[in-house]
C-alpha cells in the first residue's frame, strides 16, 4: 500500500507564490502556465487544464470586440500573472493589482474599464460575488495557456509524484471539478 501525500495549503497573492516557490517556502503551486522566463527556475509537470485568457470590459465599452479596438484606457492586470505579459506585448497601459479578486472588483466597480485575466478566474468571481451584468467577456481569447504544476528545478521526486497524480484524474473528473468551481463545463 502506498503512503498518502500530505498537502498543506498556504494562501498567497500570485507574485508571492512565485517568490515562495523560488525560495523553497512552497514545494509547488496550484497551477501556472510554463512561460519561458519561468522555465529558468522551475520544472513543469505535464499540462492538465487548458485556460483561455480573455479581455473583460465594462458593459459601457459595448463596441469592443478585441484588444485591437479597445479604447485607450488603462487595463487591469495581476502582478506577475501572464496577463501582464499580454498587456505589455500589446503596448497597453496597465493598472497592476496584487490579487485576482481586487482586479475583478476594480472592473465591476468602475475603477478600470477593462481587465485581462484567465476566464475561469473571472467566471468564478462573477458567480460567487454576484457580478452578472457588471462585466462583459470579449468572446475571442487574447491567449491560451495550459496549467501545469511547477517545482524547483531538479526536484525529481516531487515532479514524478505530481505527474503520476495528474495521470490518475480522468477527463470526466476534470469536468466535474471545473463545473463545481467555475461552472464552465464544456
pLDDT of residue 174 exceeding 90: no
pLDDT digits (tens, 9 = 90+) for 126-171: 989 999 999 999 999 999 999 999 999 989 999 999 999 999 999 8
Q: What is the pLDDT of residue 13?
A: 86
Q: What is the pTM of this model?
A: 0.83
Task: Read off the pLDDT of each residue in 36-58 and give the average, rounded to a whole number.
Answer: 93
First to last CA, the chain: 36
Reading the block at residue 99, the C-alpha cell is: 490579487
Reading the block at residue 177, the C-alpha cell is: 471539478
pLDDT of residue 116 exceeding 90: yes
- Report the CATH superfamily, name and number, of domain 49-144: Periplasmic binding protein-like II (3.40.190.10)
Task: Read off the pLDDT of each residue in 36-63 and give the average, rounded to a whole number.
Answer: 92
Q: What is the pLDDT of residue 177?
A: 85
Q: Which fold has domain 14-47+148-182?
A: D-Maltodextrin-Binding Protein; domain 2 (3.40.190)
Q: Round the average pLDDT of the chain to a whole number and report it.
A: 91
The DSSP element (H or E) to which 149 belongs, if any, is none
Q: Is there a shared CATH topology between the 14-47+148-182 domain and the 49-144 domain?
A: yes
Amino acid at each position: 500500500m502506498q503512503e498518502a501525500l500530505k498537502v498543506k495549503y498556504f494562501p498567497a497573492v500570485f507574485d508571492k507564490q512565485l517568490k515562495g516557490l523560488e525560495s523553497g517556502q512552497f514545494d509547488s503551486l496550484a497551477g501556472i502556465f510554463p512561460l519561458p522566463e519561468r522555465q529558468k527556475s522551475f520544472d513543469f509537470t505535464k499540462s492538465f487544464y487548458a485556460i483561455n485568457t480573455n479581455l473583460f470590459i465594462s458593459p459601457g465599452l459595448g463596441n469592443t470586440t478585441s484588444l485591437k479596438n479597445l479604447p485607450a484606457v488603462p487595463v487591469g492586470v495581476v502582478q506577475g500573472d501572464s496577463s501582464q505579459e499580454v498587456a505589455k506585448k500589446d503596448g497597453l497601459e496597465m493598472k497592476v493589482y496584487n490579487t485576482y479578486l481586487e482586479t475583478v472588483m476594480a472592473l465591476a466597480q468602475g475603477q478600470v474599464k477593462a481587465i485581462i485575466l484567465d476566464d475561469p478566474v473571472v467566471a468564478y468571481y462573477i458567480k460567487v460575488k454576484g457580478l452578472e451584468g457588471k462585466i462583459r467577456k470579449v468572446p475571442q481569447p487574447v491567449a491560451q495557456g495550459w496549467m501545469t504544476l511547477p517545482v524547483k528545478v531538479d526536484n525529481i521526486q516531487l515532479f514524478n509524484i505530481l505527474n503520476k497524480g495528474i495521470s490518475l484524474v480522468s477527463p470526466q473528473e476534470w469536468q466535474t471539478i471545473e463545473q463545481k468551481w467555475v461552472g464552465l463545463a464544456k
